[in-house]
Amino acid sequence: MTFASHIFRHSTQVPITLLSIASHIFRHSTQVQDGLTARAGGTSVSGMVLSRGISCSDVQLRKSFSTNSGLPPHQELGMPSLSPTMTEACSNLTRWLKKEGDHVSAGEVLCEVETDKATVEMECMEVGYLVKIIHGDGAKEIKYCRSSSIPYMLILEVAKGLVRGPELVIAITVEDKDDIEKFKDYKPQTSNGASPQDPPASTPAKEEVIEKPVSPPEPKAVKPSSAAETDRIFASPLARKLAEDNNVSLSSIKGTGPDGSIVKADIEEYLASGKKDLPAAPSRADKTTVSATSYTDIPHSQIRKVTASRLLLSKQTIPHYYLTVDTCVDKLTKLRVELNSLQEASGGKKISINDLVIKAAALALRKVPQCNSSWTNDYIRQFHEVHINVAVQTDNGLYVPVIRDADKKGLSAISEDVKILAKKARENSLKPADYEGGTFTVSNLGGPFGIKQFCAIINPPQAGILAVGSAERRVIPGSGVREFKFASYMPVTLSCDHRVIDGAIGAEWLKAFKGYIENPETMLL
């Protein structure tokens, strides 16, 4: 008997205490194993096994052998937590790759689940038949268990109403093909044993004397809105006389007296300001017209939710400061032309300015490792590897895939990685290994959009992000009198976490970065 089935089976019996549930489970349940695994980036994240005395970091109600009356043994497959960075206890089900009645084998993909950052495949671990799909294609916010360590915590989740069993179940499987028809009309059970789709069963009417509470007397108060409803303006007699003598309309004056009434001081202030009659307040019909403006509510995607929460966290908790410098890119542009001619001759892909920027940023991080760090409450963690996240805008939202060991890779390898990851981001097919573990971020709005200069928000837990603007041609003084020449300059802005990167350290990093950009041949050494 599994943990999940035990809780749901007891939900229709006499209420029992949490302690008795926990003791019964630890006494009778020696092992609970789920029936699902998530495959992400070639790594299989299998279901956790719970046994007496073993802690579990990701407890989920994902499989249970139900004992419903009239139904054979079956497995209830639940929604797993497929991303380590998910902060909400729910996921979206994109589509099913299997349909009801299909035979499933161990390792076969059942469906695709949208996490906070990507769409991840979920596969089955046991042989059987998919007999019932509870949540179909496009189902939103399907809950998974948020418990963190031991089964007792999961009991608390269910008992407190934070998680209900049926909300965790997405499908039903059986081992015997002959049992498929028996689940044709299956509906998941709620905590009181009734189907969530069915209305509550009717009970015999009970004649009860219900005492109608005595309603308290309504307070007699003058409502401010009554003035607007009756077009009556409240003003003191002295204020009315003063307004009449000066030919001032009371409707043009906002009262500061009790309940918004106009007093003498309001008239005197109006006359002293020399104002003319203000336009009358909009009528109710005008307000209705304004409020009736058409609009469309666009539901939040998972990536939009996590981007919003992380950026808000960054601006609220990280003390940002910004350093901007102009870099001459004439030599960089010339080197790029020469390298691309070699790439074309060898059948390779072209190298972009952004690829050179990523390489220069990675080498500058290696030279100034204090910027390749992150803040914790107890220490500053300085990373030994340089992994550069690159901001990629898509129709679904903002993604930041990571270029691993960017300081050790050649320009052609960086260019290839950026193109592959950008394509996967636009196709919403990034795996966790494609975006996790970055130590620094580069965001370029100059090349694609022509933005001259901007300040980017730090991507936590990193300590810095580089914002790259567009290059522009400028006139600069020459070596002689009345001499001048043209040069192209690209502004870049470094956003720093002041807890980790002091101003002088940030300036030192920008100096190293500018040296690589203005003398790009040093990047090839």
Phi-psi region of 445 (alpha: psi -120 to 50; beta: other; left: phi over 0): alpha
Contact 214, 166 (CB under 8 A): no
pLDDT in tens, the chain (525 residues): 444 444 444 443 334 334 344 444 434 443 333 333 333 333 333 333 333 333 333 333 344 444 445 678 888 887 766 555 555 556 788 888 888 888 888 888 888 887 766 778 888 878 888 888 888 887 877 776 443 333 333 333 333 444 444 446 788 888 888 888 878 777 766 544 444 444 444 444 444 444 444 444 444 444 444 434 446 788 888 888 888 888 888 887 888 888 788 888 888 888 887 764 444 445 555 555 555 789 999 998 888 888 999 999 999 999 999 999 999 999 999 999 999 999 999 988 999 999 999 999 999 999 999 999 999 999 999 999 999 999 999 988 899 999 999 999 999 999 999 999 999 999 989 999 999 999 999 999 998 899 999 999 999 999 999 999 999 999 999 888 888 999 999 999 999 999 999 999 999 999 999 999 999 999 988
Q: Is 180 helix (H, G, I), strand (E, B) or coil?
A: coil
pTM: 0.58
Q: Which of 88, 93, 85, 86 is nearest to 36 (CA)?
A: 93
Residues 6 or more apart whose Cβ sits within 8 Å of residue 147:
59, 153, 154, 156, 157
Contact 29, 61 (CB under 8 A): no
Q: Which of 500, 466, 490 is nearest to 364 (CA)?
A: 466
pLDDT for the residue 522: 94
Q: Active-site residue 24, yes or no?
A: no
pLDDT for the residue 189: 62
Q: Is 520 helix (H, G, I), strand (E, B) or coil?
A: helix
Residue type at 253 in one-letter notation: I
pLDDT for the residue 275: 60
Q: Which of 176, 259, 277, 502 is flagged as catalytic?
A: 502
Q: Which helix (H) or strand (E) holds 320?
A: strand 320-328
Cis peptide bond N-terminal to 461, omega within 30: yes
Q: Active-site residue 384, yes or no?
A: no
DSSP assignment string, 147-208:
--S-HHHHHHHHHHTSS-HHHHEEEEEES-GGGSGGGTT-----TTSS-SSSPPPP------
Instruction: Convert 491-520 to b/e letters by CB count within 10 Å (16 or more is b).
Output: bbbbbbbeebbeeebbbbbbebbbbbbeeb
Contact 63, 76 (CB under 8 A): yes
Q: Which of 124, 133, 1 is nearest to 73 (CA)?
A: 1
Distance of alpha carbon 124 from alpha carbon 105, whole angstroms: 7
β partners of residue 90: 143
Distance of alpha carbon 60 from alpha carbon 147, whole angstroms: 7
Q: How many CB atoms lie within 10 A of CB 179?
A: 17
pLDDT for the residue 191: 45
Distance of alpha carbon 164 from alpha carbon 333, whole angstroms: 60
| Residue 326 burial (C-beta neighbours within 10 Å; 0-12, 13-18, 19+) | middle
Looking at the chain, the number of H-run helices and the number of E-run strands are: 15, 23
Distance of alpha carbon 11 from alpha carbon 220, whole angstroms: 50
Q: Which of 80, 113, 118, 117 is nearest to 97 (CA)?
A: 113
Q: Which of 497, 492, 487 is nearest to 515 (CA)?
A: 492
pLDDT for the residue 237: 84
Q: Which of 471, 392, 469 is nearest to 430 (CA)?
A: 392
Q: Is 316 helix (H, G, I), strand (E, B) or coil?
A: helix
Distance of alpha carbon 368 from alpha carbon 509, whole angstroms: 6
- Over its C-alpha atoms, the chain yields an Rg (Å, rounded) of 33
pLDDT for the residue 447: 86
pLDDT for the residue 232: 76
